Amino acid sequence: MVKRIALVLLVVAMATLAFGQNKKTKEPTERSVSGIVTDENGMPVPGAIVQLKNLKTLDVRSFIAKEHGDYVFNGLATDIDYELKAEYEGRTSGPKTLSSFDTHPEARINLQLKK
C-alpha cells in the first residue's frame, strides 16, 4: 500500500514538473511585419517606399518594395506600436498600425496605394 501511494505521488510530481516547464516558455521579445504593396487594381508595386514609424520614439525606417511588391521589417519590439505607409510616384497608402496588442510574432499588413 505504501509503495502504491509513493508511486502515485511520484507520478503526480513528475506530471506537475512536466506541465510547469511548458508554462515557463518565454514570450518573444521581437517580431516582424511583412506584406505586399499594391496599386488601385491590386497589382504589386515594386520600388514603392514603405515607411515604418516607431510611435514611441518617432524613428522611421524605410524599405524599397521588391520585385513582387513585397517588404519586410524584422527585429521589432513587441511592446511598441508601429505605423506603416507606402509611397510611389505621388500615390500613398493610408497609414496602418501594427499594435503592441497584436501578439503574432510575424504580422502581415498589406498596403494599397491610392490616387
Give 50-68 pLDDT, tens digit per residue: 999 999 999 999 999 999 9
18 located within any domain: no
- The pTM of the full predicted model, rounded to 2 decimals, is 0.75
How large a percentage of the chain has pLDDT more than 70? 77
58 located within any domain: yes
Q: Single out the residue of 105, 113, 47, 58 nearest to residue 83, CA to CA.
A: 58
Whether the CB-CB separation of 4 and 78 falls below 8 Å is answered with: no
9 located within any domain: no
92 located within any domain: yes
Q: Single out the residue of 96, 83, 85 nearest to residue 49, CA to CA.
A: 85
Note the pLDDT of residue 7: 54
* pLDDT band (50, 70, 90) for residue 29: confident
Whether the CB-CB separation of 37 and 50 falls below 8 Å is answered with: yes
Position 34 pLDDT exceeds 80: yes
Task: Domain count for the chain, please give it.
Answer: 1
19 located within any domain: no
